[in-house]
Amino acid sequence: MERHNPETIGVRRTGWAALDRDPQQDKIEFVCPHCGQRDQKNARRERTLYRFTDGFLQDLQGEVTQCHSCKKYLRVVPIVMLHDQDETRRFGAVFADELVTSSQ
């Protein structure tokens, strides 16, 4: 039996991009494609497994997780690692269309 989980983009903020939270917390942030709620999960993969693709460090394998709001499963892929505020702004400009469609 093959399952297809909807996909969404995840963001893993490190360094200067993560100044608003505890630096010990290593979270992946995403928007659930089912209910549109923002959610987060603990990052599992090592940072050394991320590859430079399309101008960002990305994990193209992604992870499967469960939304804490609607309890449905989804696939978070790609996971983009952002290190500073410039990368965060550039990410917003590049992925703006996909972030809007995944939240609808």
* Residue-wise pLDDT tens digits, 32-66: 999 999 999 999 999 889 999 988 999 999 999 99
* 1 belongs to a structural domain: no
| Lowest-pLDDT range of 3-7, 18-22, 67-71, 87-91 | 18-22
What does pTM read for this prediction? 0.82
What are the two backbone dihedrals, phi and then psi, of residue 77, each rounded to the nearest 5 degrees?
-155, 135
* Cβ within 8 Å of residue 93, ≥6 positions away: none
Residue 63 to residue 77: CA distance in whole angstroms: 7
| Lowest-pLDDT range of 15-24, 26-35, 43-52, 62-71 | 15-24
* 87 belongs to a structural domain: yes
What burial letters (b/e) apply to 69-86, b meaning 16+ CB within 10 Å? eeeeebbbbbbbbbbeee
Domain coverage including residue 22? 7-102
* 93 belongs to a structural domain: yes
- Structural domains of the chain, count: 1
* 94 belongs to a structural domain: yes
